[in-house]
Amino acid sequence: MNVIITCRHLDISSAIKDYVTRKLSSVLENHREVESAHAILDIQRFNHIVEVVVQAKRHLKIEASESSDDMYKSVDKAVDKLDRQLKRSREKVVDHKPAKKRVKLSDFERDLSDNTGD
């Protein structure tokens, strides 16, 4: 899984880069369908904005954006939001393959008794 970090209007420190990578890796290791993650860090006046875009299998693209007065708070909020969205998307996945036709044991016994009674 690739984690790409992009910064707008700021120079990234190694501490923030490690923090973002560690938070995203810990959340995304539970979601095997994720192929890549892109974190965009931005500062606009006093707002620290974090956007996270995740690409996953089955054409799934999930985005989470948060802003606050601290970059670390923004990262935490965005990663939490991303985790909730990934869990919700996993619950929505439906397998459209036809299920095998299973016969209940009671129906099978009833059919057997009907055939032997003739």
The pLDDT tens digits of the residues spanning 37-90 come to 999 999 998 999 999 999 988 888 999 999 999 999 999 999 999 999 998 888
Domain holding 70, by residue range, is 2-116
The pLDDT tens digits of the residues spanning 83-105 come to 999 988 888 776 666 666 666 67
Number of domains in the chain: 1
CATH at residue 105 = 3.30.160.100
Residue 49 is predicted with a pLDDT of 96
- What is the value of pTM for the model shown? 0.75
Residue 113 to residue 100: CA distance in whole angstroms: 24
Three-state secondary structure string covering the chain: CEEEEEEECCCCCHHHHHHHHHHHHHHHCCCCCEEEEEEEEEEECCEEEEEEEEEECCCEEEEEEEEECCHHHHHHHHHHHHHHHHHHHHHHCCCCCCCCCCCCHHHHHHHHHHHHCC
